[in-house]
Structure 1
Amino acid sequence: MTTDYQHLKLLFDTLDWTQVQKDIIFGTLLGDASLQTQNKGQTYRYKFCQSNIHREYFHHLIQELKPWMHKNSHFNRERNIWENETLAHTKWNVWNHIFYEKNKNSLRKKRVPKNKDLELYLTPRAIAYWFMDDGGLLASNSKGIVFYTQAFPTKEVKRLGEYLYHQYSLETWVKFNKKNQF
């Protein structure tokens, strides 16, 4: 007899990513989504959250990633956010390799993917998901938009901006906020 967990793991073994799922994962990992491990990197799970104001977007992500989800969404009343995560599986390891590296202290640190990965995965739709996940208008009367990139080193953000310009003719610049973050 197999448990629900074993059944889901077997199901995950047969799944492949659709192009939409790749775009969502790549775009949201450039934003606030994260990969977590509880077994020292043998497997990872994808975790994401959105404020209650963006619950329709959050539920859209759930619908698109439904085959990978293993539990119901959770509403955190204290933080006013919706949260969910996937089952941990080795198929998430490739995304960990793209978005994380270990620093001097062997701690995982999120990074901007290398240009070869940007070429593979930073599609117009992935940019749209990145914007929906962690972007906004520069000002209410402006045509400019902003992507919040505080999680990444300045050098990597500049490289990402150069890639966006060369690949999509998007003009970018690094803007520091009051806390000297960009």
Structure 2
Amino acid sequence: NILGRLTKQEDYEEQVEIDLEVNNNILIFIMKSPNPQLALSPIQREILVGGLLGDLAIYRAKATHNARLYVQQGAVHKEYLNHLYSVFQNLCSSEPKWSFSLNKRNNRTYETLRFNSRSLPCFNYYREVFYPEGIKIVPANIGELLTARGLAYWCMDDGNKDRGNFRLATLSFSRNDVLLLIKVLKENFSLDCSLNTVKSTQYRIYVKANSMVQFRALVSPYFHPSMLYKLQ
């Protein structure tokens, strides 16, 4: 009696497991329903997309393994990290942990708080579209994925008010990726934004002053209280 396992995905969100049992040369398919507690809810998907434009990361140990979410924040933002943990807690097996690192240049020790999710099929799609070659990019379909809630979480991760504007740090993305984000911010949310070149290959997005009232109204309902200072 030989038992194998095949996984089938209608999409990456709901993985269905199929057991293959070979018995007397007959292949028997045994369908197993996905565990709804291990799937991303609509709100979790929105937050994940915005967070992946910021500091959230998704890792995969091997190409044949499921992906996992990784979240880290400095000690000053521990309330925000604990909030993120509460969002994804049903997909995690351990609570946030502290880590300490020594900066040899200034001899200072820095504290960070982090957590990982379990390695799960529900993260595979986001690993594929955000890391097609192993390096984070902006997916071509980001306009279909990014909502106002997602925008708020992106802003909490990588944004700050800069005089009369709001600045989004997009330094790790290519110029074309940043231009795509500017286009989506205009088409999805009617926000006027501009591209700012920091270095020859690093760019930031500025939400212009004339869009700030609309911008605040759009994202403030989703801001964690500890991060509201970024809008003031």
**Fold shared, TM-score > 0.5 on shorter chain:** yes
**Whole-angstrom CA distance in 2 between matches of 1:136 and 1:41:** 38
Residues 25-174 of structure 1: pairs in structure 2 closer than 5 A: 25-78=48-101, 79-102=110-133, 108-115=134-141, 117-119=142-144, 121-138=145-162, 142-174=163-195
Instruction: Give, in angstroms, the shift of residue 61 of structure 1.
Output: 0.6
Higher relative contact order at CA 8 Å, sep ≥6: structure 1 or structure 2?
1
The answer to whether structure 1 residue 19 and structure 2 residue 42 are counterparts is: yes
C-alpha separation between the residues in 2 aligned to 1:131 and 1:96?
A: 21
In 1, are the aligned partners of 2:173 and 2:202 still within 8 Å (CA)? Answer: no
Q: 1:179 to 1:52 in 2, by over 3 A?
A: farther
Unaligned segments of structure 2, at least 5 residues: 1-31, 102-109, 204-232
TM-score scaled by structure 2?
Answer: 0.65
Distance across 2 between alignment mates of 1:80 and 1:50: 9
Q: Which has the higher strand share?
A: 2
- In angstroms, what is the RMSD of aligned CA positions? 1.9
Matches of 1:56 and 1:62 in 2, distance apart?
Answer: 10
Q: Deviations over 1:3-28 (max 9, x none)?
A: xxxxxxx9x84332222211211111
Q: Offset of 1:179 from its aligned partner?
A: 7.3
**In structure 1, how many angstroms separate the alpha carbons of the residues matched to 2:135 and 2:186?**
25
**Aligned-partner Cα distance in 2 for 1:25–1:13:** 20
Report percent identity of matched pairs: 25
How big is the shift at 1:41? 4.7
**Larger gyration radius, structure 1 or structure 2:** 2
Rounded Cα–Cα distance in structure 1 between residues aligned with 2:48 and 2:202: 24
Specify the SS of the correspondent of 2:132: strand
Displacement of 1:74 after TM fit? 1.2
Post-superposition Cα deviations, 1:52-84, rounded to whole Å, max 9, x if no partner, equal 111111101111111011112111232321111
Higher share in helix: 1
Give aligned pairs, total.
162
CA distance in 2, matches of 1:41, 1:57: 32
Q: Secondary structure at the match of 1:81?
A: strand
